């Protein structure tokens, strides 16, 4: 199924926050490529767009299934869109491994951004909503996104990769802005700062 078809007609779901158990446990593999999966993916695209995100994992809408969606620019500002079920990320090793430290955020901890060093290139493999193999090569923000979303499906949030000191800064930033994000955001929209 064409990805653009999955990017319309979805319903908004509330975004699950860090601390909710589903976000901190490994997910189940996708085994059924059926209407239920397509509905979930449609809803995830709609929710990601409403929250102005570049990637969204199923755990972020409370579902413990190994699937994420993305709509994300690469190092040349070219947007890539798609769905990956059962993702596995391969990262460069040896001399090819270049770490870049950039601000990273998460829709499940809205308002917090802190630098995190990650490899500047990632290859994510898995299958699409029909069960056909997919392979996504990412540079720039897309490289970061593929790693961040695959982490989610393994029960890892990016705060787990930060030092205690930086994680505390991240939490206090998010705490300061928490009042702008209703509990069911983005079903209820972000509030305007006063
Ligand atoms: Zn996230």
Token pair in block for residue 33: 């490529």
Q: Is the dihedral of CA 161, 164, 170, 176 positive or negative?
A: positive
Q: Is the dihedral of CA 118, 75, 106, 31 positive or negative?
A: negative
Look over the chain and give the mean of its residue pLDDT values, rounded to a whole number: 97
Between the CA of 105 and the centroid of ligand 1 the distance, in Å, is 7
**Quick one: residue 162, left, alpha or beta (phi over 0 = left, psi -120 to 50 = alpha)?**
beta
Q: For 160-185, what is the mean pLDDT?
A: 97
Between the CA of 157 and the centroid of ligand 1 the distance, in Å, is 6
- The second-level CATH assignment, the architecture, of 3-180 is Alpha-Beta Complex (3.90)
Between the CA of 149 and the centroid of ligand 1 the distance, in Å, is 6
Q: What angle do CA 147, 19, 112 make, to 5 degrees?
A: 60
- What's the pLDDT tens digit per position in 64-80? 999 999 999 999 999 99
Q: What integer pLDDT is reported at residue 57 of this predicted model?
A: 98
Q: What angle do CA 51, 101, 126 make, to 5 degrees?
A: 60
For the chain, give every domain's residue range: 3-180
Active site residues: 149
């Amino acid at each position: 199924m064409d990805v653009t078809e999955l990017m319309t007609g979805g319903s908004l779901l509330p975004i699950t926050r860090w601390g909710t158990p589903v976000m901190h446990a490994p997910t189940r593999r996708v085994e059924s490529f059926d209407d239920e999966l397509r509905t979930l993916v449609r809803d995830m695209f709609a929710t990601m767009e409403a929250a102005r995100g570049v990637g969204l994992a199923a755990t972020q809408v409370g579902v413990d299934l190994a699937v994420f969606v993305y709509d994300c620019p690469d190092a040349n500002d070219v947007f890539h869109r798609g769905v990956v079920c059962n993702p596995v990320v391969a990262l460069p090793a040896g001399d090819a491994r270049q770490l870049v430290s950039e601000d990273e955020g998460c829709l499940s901890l809205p308002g917090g951004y802190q630098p995190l060093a990650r490899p500047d290139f990632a290859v994510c493999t898995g299958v699409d909503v029909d069960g056909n193999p997919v392979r996504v090569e990412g540079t720039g923000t897309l490289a970061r996104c593929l790693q961040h979303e695959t982490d989610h499906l393994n029960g890892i949030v990016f705060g787990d990769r930060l030092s205690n000191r930086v994680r505390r800064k991240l939490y206090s930033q998010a705490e300061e802005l928490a009042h702008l994000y209703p509990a069911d955001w983005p079903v209820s929209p972000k509030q305007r700062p006063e």
